[in-house]
Amino acid sequence: MEMPNGQSNKGKEGGGNTDTPTDLLRRTRISFLVTSGLVIVFAVSYGYLEYYYINDPVLGKTANLTIKGGTQHVTTLIIGGLYSYHIYPMMIIFILVGFGPFFDSISFNILGRHERSKAASLGIANVISAMLVEDFTWFFYRWWLPLDNDPKRGMLMQASDWTTKSMGSTPIIHTNLLGNFVIPYWYIIAIATAAIFYYYAFKRSK
């Protein structure tokens, strides 16, 4: 049977895929938004886990952070300010979730090359955002509901914290609610970089 516009409705009657390019674009954008939301939830959750439950060497709790009968330590910095638990499982989780649409595209060939590059851009933006949110969340918990044995309890990021060591920071002084704290320069760079990749991922195709 022919439709009024000359197109067959055979695919519709047979249950085939009748998505228009607009429908596919809308579904892709929803998938991107959901993925971005999920990776932020993971980041906040991991920040909670890291502050309250990981035997963090930053707090000087290193007595049992050894392997192979105590002959090897896992408190050595791997790169920058990252310890082993930052690489695995944190980064693995962020990459798997943040690049979800890209992996789907590779596995099932559901997106064209242009949309696949946008999915990859989304993944990069998500991982950068997750690293930023996870790091800030750690300090947020230290300020909001700190551990009794934390020597810097009640403080947000400080110039002496590890997060400022690689690139430095700019001070924010005399805020009534948050007290004195600093904004690491890598936060600013991360926000700007993620914004660029998010823009590319979500901009409308011509």
Q: Is residue 168 part of a domain?
A: yes
pTM: predicted TM-score of the whole model, two decimal places? 0.77
| pLDDT of res. 20 | 76
12 occurs within a structural domain: no
Alpha-carbon distances of 37 from 2, 85, 102, 125, rounded to whole Å: 43, 23, 16, 12
The verdict on residue 137 lying in a domain is yes
Q: Which residue matches tokens 């085939």?
A: 16
Q: Is residue 5 part of a domain?
A: no
Chain position carrying tokens 């596919």: 24
Instruction: Return the higher-pLDDT residue of 113 and 7.
Output: 113
Give the Cα separation of 201 and 102 in Å (integer): 11
pLDDT band for 114, please (50, 70, 90 cuts): confident
Helices (H), the chain: 10-13, 21-52, 84-85, 92-98, 100-108, 113-144, 185-202
Residue 17 has pLDDT above 60, yes or no: no
Q: What is the pLDDT of residue 206?
A: 63
Residue 107 belongs to some domain of the structure:
yes
- Residue 151 sits in which domain range? 30-202
Whether residue 1 is contained in a domain is answered as: no
Residue 87: HSE in the Cβ half-sphere, 13 Å Cα cutoff:
11
Is 94 contained in some domain?
Answer: yes
Residue 75 falls within a domain, yes or no?
yes
Q: What is the pLDDT, as a whole number, of residue 151? A: 87
pLDDT tops 70 at residue 40: yes
Mean predicted confidence (pLDDT) in 123-127 = 96
Structural domain tally of the chain? 1
